[in-house]
Amino acid sequence: MKILALVGSPRKKGNTDILIDTILCACRRHKTEKIYVYDHKISPCMDCRACQKGNHSCRKNDGMKEIYPRIQKADLIIFGTPLYWYAPTGQMKLLIDRLRPFIASKKLKGKKAVIVVPAAEGPKACKAIVEMFEQSFDYLGMKLAGKILATAYEKGEVAKNAKELKKAHDLGVSL
């Protein structure tokens, strides 16, 4: 199985990154790849609807050109984002909006998804973001294979939290 992890935090070695690394470490038997979403220039979906026609590709010439084929090749995609105002980070939202070609192409259908969301307030603050991901995966025909909602605030804090790390490790093993 090919696993693609999308790190939607601007902080490398931050909580999202650490939780994702813990998951990936626990499922080394698979082919894994990690993308820092903030390293790529992703412009907003302009609702031009070109992706609804022809070969269902996006006309934009930006960082997504490199990310689209990697998403397509993956069997399981990990969406990692810290909670920002009860929602994903802006950069992760830009990426999610750009998944529109996959509505018409149906190329994400049957793929698995995992969500990883650290938040200062913890899981109780994650109702809306979980709902957003679940509904979006449903729309795209993807299956939610697991979620990690962790309590963490300072950069790298989650690395000292054995309970949260174990949850991420166990999820990785289960994949």
Ligand X SMILES: Cc1cc2nc3c(=O)[nH]c(=O)nc-3n(C[C@H](O)[C@H](O)[C@H](O)COP(=O)(O)O)c2cc1C
Three-point CA angle 134, 160, 146, nearest 5°: 20
| 131's tokens | 């709902």
Task: In angstroms, give the least distance from the CB of 127 to ligand X.
Answer: 11
Give the C-alpha separation, 34 to 90, whole Å.
19
Query: Using the rule CB under 6 A, is 84 a contact of ligand X?
Result: yes
Task: In angstroms, give the least distance from the CB of 110 to ligand X.
Answer: 29
Out of 15, 22, 32, 91, which residue is the one contacting ligand X (CB under 6 A)? 15
Out of 74, 83, 129, 140, which residue is the one contacting ligand X (CB under 6 A)? 83
| 73's tokens | 């090749």
The runs of H, that is alpha helices, within 14-161 are 15-26, 64-73, 90-97, 101-105, 127-140
Site string for ligand X, 85-124 (x = CB under 6 A): xx-------------------------------xxxx---
CA nearest neighbour of 118 among 157, 146, 162: 157
Q: Which residues bind ligand X (CB under 6 A)?
A: 9, 11, 14-16, 82-86, 118-121, 125, 152-153, 155
